[in-house]
Structure 1
Amino acid sequence: MLYTILVVIQVLIAVSLVGLILIQHGKGADAGAAFGSGASGTVFGARGSANFLSRATAALATVFFAVSLSLAYLVSGVGGGEDSVTERLQAPGAELLEDQEAPAADEAAEETPTTPSVPE
Structure 2
Amino acid sequence: MALVLVVPCDAASHAERTTGTAPHARVPAPARPFGAVCRTVVDGSHVTADCRNPYPETDHVGLHVECERWWDIDADGVRVEAGPAQHVRLTGRCWKEVRSAWITHQR
TM over 0.5, shorter chain: no
Point out the structure with the larger strand share: 2
Point out the structure with the larger helix share: 1
TM range (shorter): under 0.3
Question: TM (normalized to structure 1)?
Answer: 0.21
Larger relative CO (CA 8 A, sep 6+): 1 or 2? 1
